[in-house]
Amino acid sequence: MAKDSFRTHHGMVDILPGESEQWQAIEKIIHETAREFHFREIRTPVLEPTELIARGIGQLTDIVSKEMFTFSRGEDNYVLRPECTAPVARAYIQHHLDQRGGTQKLYYIGPMFRAERPQKGRQRQFHQFGAELIGSDAPAADAEIIAFMARIYEKAGIRNTTLKLNSVGDPESRKAYKEALQHYFRPKLSHLSEISQQRFETNPMRILDSKEEEDQPFIAGAPLITDYLNEECLDHYAGVKERLGLLGISYTEDPRLVRGLDYYTKTAFELVSPDLGSQDALGGGGRYDLLIEEIGGRPTPAVGFASGMERFLIACDALGITPGADPIPDVYIVTRGEEAEKWGLKTLKSLRATGIAATMDFAGRSVKAQMKDANREQARYCIIVGEEELNQGRFTLRNMIESDEQMLTPDEIITRLMPPVQLL
Ligand code: AMP
């Protein structure tokens, strides 16, 4: 390579043609699912005030203490956003979105930046999609956020995931729990890793998050937050579990699940995949009833999730799923003769108007060559039309997968092929 040629920074990658189609396909699923759930898109700047992120995520977190890309210009301090919850909360306050009435259901997709050590599933520029439901403390809001997240993966065909669920309590419960943790860890302090020793005074809950080998036996025996939840938190947690049950969303309770960020209250969750290796979280989130007040707004309860696009694609790859793979037509119209071709052209228009992906031969090829082409394109159905069919007003609909045929009118064909509308 020439001495003066440039490469991307460590942990930053180009998304090339062949990959970008997969990104578009996943983004499409996210936008479509958002529409179904009635979440509205919000796009915030990539640069935010450093102080917003420091306050919003918490000074003691790894992200704020060592992973932010920051710079100053004149009087202003800029940070490349490491996540989007604090920026969305800032926008909510700045634009008085509370005055739009009801709750705000917002979602986003975009690049985030963290100066982490790059490895599989961990980059310095990565992409997240996520959602925030702001203005409700009801357990139904937590269930809605989790259902939205779960549905996106389900639609992509990723079904071997586990939803881990916990409640991290409110400040009152957490105060009692922190004391219990310090009481438990104090006699063991000299055996803990250096990082856990540092966390002991400031944020002992984060010791539970430690990946250090020497901490593991002590973490295993530590008291559980669930034993310290007050009545309000317990009720809320039970309400969330009941609603997930109603929605048929299965979960595994994990009383050791603590999120790295300080602003979480009550519900915490993570969606993990066996296909991701050591970075096994596809995404996660929880309730953050304290954040909006922390960054200057009125006390406002909220719940949200954030997921990584790169890990979404790693999971797809491991399962042999290619999002946005070569598109397949629902219908290929096979025509014999000029009148049939004209009928075909008009019928393509009516099929497409109802959302059916359809094509035909445009080169006057033989019926045999057209059938071959339909097979090559993997069309699900063929409509076969010649003089006889035109005279009868009934056409052959051939199911190419099951190889069976039926004679139907055009209306019957459309009814048969229309994408199902599911109301319940
Ligand atoms: P977090 O905001 O840390 O809770 O992360 C939420 C999700 O974002 C994770 O589950 C990952 O899918 C993704 N994510 C976080 N950090 C990175 C990173 N450095 N590289 C790639 N994906 C990441």
CATH at residue 346: 3.40.50.800
Ligand 1 atom nearest residue 283's Cα: 10
Tell me, yes or no, whether 46 and 75 share the same domain. Answer: yes
pLDDT tens per residue, range 154-192: 989 898 899 999 999 998 998 899 999 999 999 999 999
Nearest CA to ligand 1 atom 11: 308
- Same structural domain, 184 and 247: no
Same domain, 37 and 139: yes
Mutate to test the pocket of ligand 1, among 125, 211, 311 (most ligand atoms within 8 A of CB): 311
- Ligand 1 centroid to Cα of residue 127, in Å, is 8
Q: Which residues pair with 167 in a beta bridge?
A: 267
pTM for the full predicted model: 0.79
CA atoms within 13 A on the CB side of 373: 17
Q: Which residues of the chain have pLDDT under 50?
A: 422-424
Atom of ligand 1 nearest to the CA of 308: 12
Domain harbouring 285, CATH code: 3.30.930.10
Judge whether 347 lies within some domain.
yes
Q: Is residue 326 a part of any domain in this protein?
A: no
Please report whether residue 8 resides in a domain.
no
User: The domain containing residue 216 runs over which residues?
Assistant: 171-225
| 346 Cα–ligand 1 center, Å | 49
pLDDT of 2:
58
In the chain, the number of structural domains is 3
Q: Tell me what pLDDT residue 422 has.
A: 46
Residues 280 and 367 in one domain: no
Q: Tell whether 48 is covered by a domain.
A: yes
Helix (H, G, I), strand (E, B) or coil at 400: coil
Task: Say if 54 falls within a structural domain.
Answer: yes
Q: Could you tell me which residues are beta bridge partners of residue 407?
A: 396
In a domain, 40, yes or no: yes
Domain boundary among 270, 296, 318: 318
Residues 137 and 116 in one domain: yes
pLDDT of 277 reads 85
Residue given tokens 């990565």 in the structure block: 126
d(CA 365, ligand 1 centre) in Å:
52
Nearest to 180 by CA among 208, 158, 157, 155: 208
Task: With beta carbons less than 8 A apart as the criterion, state whether 230 and 170 touch.
Answer: yes
Residues 175, 193, single domain; the answer is: yes
What does the pLDDT read at residue 326? 64
Q: Catalogue the E-assigned strands of 213-364.
A: 252-253, 265-272, 281-287, 302-308, 331-335, 358-360
Is residue 180 located within the same domain as residue 255? no
**350 in any annotated domain:** yes
* 250 and 380, same domain (yes or no): no
Question: Is residue 104 within 8 Å of 133, Cβ to Cβ?
Answer: yes
Q: Closest by alpha carbon to 296, among 64, 100, 93?
A: 93
Question: Whose CA is closest to 294, among 264, 270, 327?
Answer: 264
Q: What is the pLDDT of residue 261?
A: 57
> Residues with Cβ within 6 A of ligand 1?
83, 114, 116, 121-123, 126, 128, 281-284, 306-308, 310-311
Q: Which of 67, 122, 129, 264 for a ligand 1 pocket mutation test, highest count of atoms within 8 Å of Cβ?
A: 122
Q: How far apart are CA 278 and CA 138, in angstroms?
A: 34
Question: Atom of ligand 1 at shortest distance to CA of 128?
Answer: 8
Check: CB of residue 396 under 8 Å from CB of residue 383.
yes
- What does the pLDDT read at residue 102? 82
The number of angstroms, rounded, from the C-alpha of 385 to the middle of its chain's C-alpha atoms is: 44
Type of residue found at 357: A
pLDDT in the model for residue 259 = 67
Ligand 1 centre to CA of 10 (Å) is 17
User: Which residue is closest in CA terms to ligand 1's atom 10?
Assistant: 283
Q: How far is the CA of 396 from the centre of ligand 1 (A)?
A: 51
Does 11 reside within a domain? Answer: no
Question: In terms of C-beta density within 10 A (0-12 exposed, 13-18 middle, 19 or more buried), how is residue 108 classed?
Answer: buried
Angle at 309 between CA 306 and CA 310, to 5 degrees: 130
CA pair distance 281, 301, nearest whole angstrom? 25
